[in-house]
Amino acid sequence: MIKYRAATMNDFEEVLAIENECFIEPYSRENLKYEFEENPVNKIIVAEDDGRVVGFIDYLITFNSATIMQIAVTKEYRGIGIATQLLSEMEKSFPKDLDEIVETVTLEVRVSNQPAVNLYTKNGYKIVVVKSHYYKDGENAIYMVKRL
């Protein structure tokens, strides 16, 4: 059974391995370590199966907005709803205080990553604009927003 919880430094190496497996331009060890230890607005939730991290979502909360930095699930665990549940767990984690309530969630996704675009669309995200040459390799990004 998959469990969802806030990441700890004990999850770092497994999250880094998923990062390297899943992304064309993965975070460096140093960048990911910054997200885990130093970034004051960053949060990471992991999906765990029998003690093994099989997916994660990395996001920021600033004022009344959240930004999904990354979401990834290991290849062998894809297609069973883990990414959808990670999105749900992220939304459940948002502050409930009316002064800090998250009103929108934003993200960028590669135009070539149709499975991710489908995931976000299925979960209520809308395409706002295409950002030209957004990634280092020149690929465009789709900017998506969900209003809560």
pLDDT of res. 132: 96
pLDDT of res. 96: 81
Mean pLDDT for 15-33 is 96
> What domains can you pick out in the chain, each with its CATH number?
2-147 (3.40.630.30)
pLDDT of res. 84: 98
More confident residue, 97 or 148: 148
Mean pLDDT for 32-40 is 95
State how far the Cα of 17 lies from the Cα of 89, in Å rounded to an integer.
Answer: 22
Chain segment 107-120, per-residue pLDDT in tens: 999 999 999 999 99
pLDDT of res. 91: 96
pLDDT of res. 97: 78
pTM for the whole thing?
0.94
pLDDT of res. 100: 77
Percent above pLDDT 90 for the chain: 95
Chain segment 55-109, per-residue pLDDT in tens: 999 999 998 999 999 999 999 999 999 999 999 999 999 988 777 799 999 999 9
Say yes or no to pLDDT of 127 above 90.
yes
Mean pLDDT for 30-57 is 96
